[in-house]
A and B are shown apart, each in its own frame.
Chain A
Amino acid sequence: MPVNITMPALSPTMEEGTLAKWLVKEGDEIKSGMIIAEIETDKATMEVEAVDEGKVAKIMVPEGTEGVKVNAVIAVLLEEGESAADVKAPAAAPAKAEVAPAPKPSTSPAASSSPPTPAKAGVQSAVAVLDPGLRRDERQSGGRVMASPLAKRIAANKGIDLKALKGSGPHGRIIRRDVEKAKPGASQPAAGGAAVPLSADGLILPQVLDDRVYAPDTYEMKPLDGMRKTVAKRLTQSFMQVPHFPLNVDIQLDNLLESRAAINAAAPKDVKISVNDLLIKACALALMDEPDCNASYTDKGIAYHKQANISVAVAVEGGLITPVIFKAEGKGLAEISEEMKDLAARARDRKLKPQEYMGGTFSISNLGMFGIKSFASIINPPEGMILSVGVGEKRPVVDENGNVVVRTVMTVTLTCDHRVIGGAEGAKWLAAFKRYVETPEAMLL
């Protein structure tokens, strides 16, 4: 009996797609596992793999056809001993007209004694859709590995090379029990030879470079050290789990620069206040003015911190670390400056103690010295906000009298955790910070 090859569903919600390309023609003999067509949706192009073997009797839907309904017959396959005469008339009917649409989602239990069959179940008996994210890694010398989604996930977690396994499922498909029986010794080396571990929390999936895309001799692989792993893990967690939103504002620096010059001129020789020291102090005071912003989200509630512990991002070789100026609101500029110099030096030597880079309530990251105009940092959990400071540069500004004047201006971006900080709170904090920077005398009050 001829086998209908039907339009597969690329996702449970897909109703139709484009048959982009046929990779076989009528009369071709096909075998299980052969890629026979490519189909497209608005999200992806995927390959269609034959599950059955036989001869292509008729292609029902020409390539390039758009709007082909899921489950529509796109081709008919003859099995051994069958001829074209066995292809019955209904199979040759227009694809769109003969196929029922995929089942619609339902929000309530259906009162039926026989559970409906998922749309994919029937489709998968005729063709299989290849996951484009996996197919590159799973092909080997023109062959390919067929495995269930679950088997692929388990193999990835255990670091098992699917190519080393023999599948016990239909048509040699690798299924869960095959992977569970496999010894971890069959691990798949990453490009460059280093095994790629999966983080314990499962947030960072193994990343490998496909040898056929990035030849191993075209790059140098440096193993991850503890700091790089920690930075990768924490920032991935933060970016995935914390709802970030940025606010930015331009701030004039002329008064601050004048004040800094005056302070340094009057200070003892070993004291030299930097712009960053002044910004740390301004951040701390603004947090005291707007205490709703000095906050951390927790499962038990929002923790409002009573002191301004300012984490300052320091780039070090192989990563980033954020030493903390504790209780910065109560410290003088000279004290902040001295402490910051000591912390930054020890950070670069990786000699900070954990208590010196943990416990911050707010972060500041300054890339102005690299000429960066503006940027938005990733929040350093559990802190609620981080300030990104751009370069101070001469810009034309319209003053209060309507005249265009040249001022030194920097753009700062405040990234907020929307679970604890609203737009209005963030804006108030930025206004307070701007006031301190543009009127630095206020920091002395």
Chain B
Amino acid sequence: MKTVAIIGLLAVAACAHTPVYSAAQVEAIMQPLAYEQQIVRKCDEAATIADADNFLASLRGDAAEQAAEILSFITLEVAEGEAEYVCTVELYYSTQERADDARALWATLKGNS
């Protein structure tokens, strides 16, 4: 009983530090990170870049569901795209830039929470 109570307190404590993101913020962060993850997976290294997954894991409730939908959609979109068109140098670098912006936004929002 005591153990359950401690775990419960820890969970509440963890939730208390979870930033609350608006739907627009979730999209602004998750979309670029998901594209980065999937394009790298398809076009370069098989290893997954973890930021998209980490962001998803940091969310709760509706925000988590929204982010999961975005990641799922982008995963399919990239998977079914022809590599000839998806794996271009221009697309890769622009995706990186947007992902960097998303990471900066994520860091800012975390810092503000």
Contact = CB atoms under 8 A, between A and B. Distances in A.
Nearest to A117: B75
A175 B89 CA distance: 13
A140 interface: no
Nearest to B67: A113
Interface stretch (A147-155, A251-259, A307-315, A434-442): A147-155
Interface in A108-158: 108-121, 124-125, 148-151, 153-154, 157
Given A109-B72, A149-B83, A170-B46, A118 B41 contact: yes
Contacts of B82: 11-12
Interface in A76-120: 103, 105-106, 108-120
B92 A150 contact: yes
Contact of A119 (B69, B79, B89): B79
B72 A115 contact: yes
Given A176-B44, A202-B90, 16 more contacts: A103-B80, A105-B76, A108-B73, A109-B69, A109-B70, A109-B72, A111-B69, A115-B68, A118-B78, A148-B87, A150-B89, A153-B89, A157-B89, A169-B45, A175-B45, A176-B92
A150 B79 contact: no
A114 to B, nearest CB: 7
A114 B90 contact: no
B42 interface: yes
A108 B75 CA distance: 12
B71 interface: yes
B64 interface: yes
Contacts of A124: 46
Interface in A162-185: 169-170, 175-176
Given A103-B76, A202-B90, A115 B65 contact: no
A115 B64 CA distance: 12
Interface string B55-66: 000000000110
Interface in B29-47: 38, 41-46
A118 B79 contact: yes
Going nearest first, the 3 A-B pairs with the smallest beta carbon separation are A118-B79, A109-B73, A149-B87
Interface string B3-17: 000000000000000
A212 to B, nearest CB: 24
Interface size on A, as a range, is: 20 to 34
Nearest to B75: A115
A198 B12 CA distance: 58
A401 interface: no
B83 to A, nearest CB: 5
A13 interface: yes
What bracket does the count of chain B residues touching chain A fall in?
20 to 34
A175 B44 CA distance: 6
Given A11-B82, A105-B76, A105-B80, A114 B68 contact: yes
Contacts of B89: 150, 153-154, 157
B44 A148 contact: yes
A150 B80 contact: no
A153 B84 CA distance: 10
Interface string B69-113: 111110110111111000111101000000000000000000000
Contact of A149 (B43, B71, B75, B80): B43
Contacts of A110: 69, 72-73, 76
Count chain B CB atoms within 10 A of each CB in A115, A116, A120 and give the residue with the most: A115
A170 B46 CA distance: 9
16 contacts: A11-B82, A103-B76, A106-B76, A109-B70, A109-B73, A110-B69, A111-B65, A111-B68, A115-B68, A118-B79, A148-B43, A150-B87, A153-B87, A153-B89, A154-B89, A202-B90
Given A12-B82, A148-B43, A116 B75 contact: yes
Contacts of A121: 41, 46
Contacts of B70: 109
Contacts of A202: 90
Contact of A120 (B45, B65, B76, B79): B79
B46 A118 contact: no
B69 A150 contact: no
A111 B75 CA distance: 13
A119 to B, nearest CB: 7
A117 B79 CA distance: 9
B92 A116 contact: no
A175 B69 CA distance: 29
A110 B90 CA distance: 28
B79 A12 contact: yes
Contacts of B38: 118
Interface string A40-65: 00000000000000000000000000
A141 B113 CA distance: 59
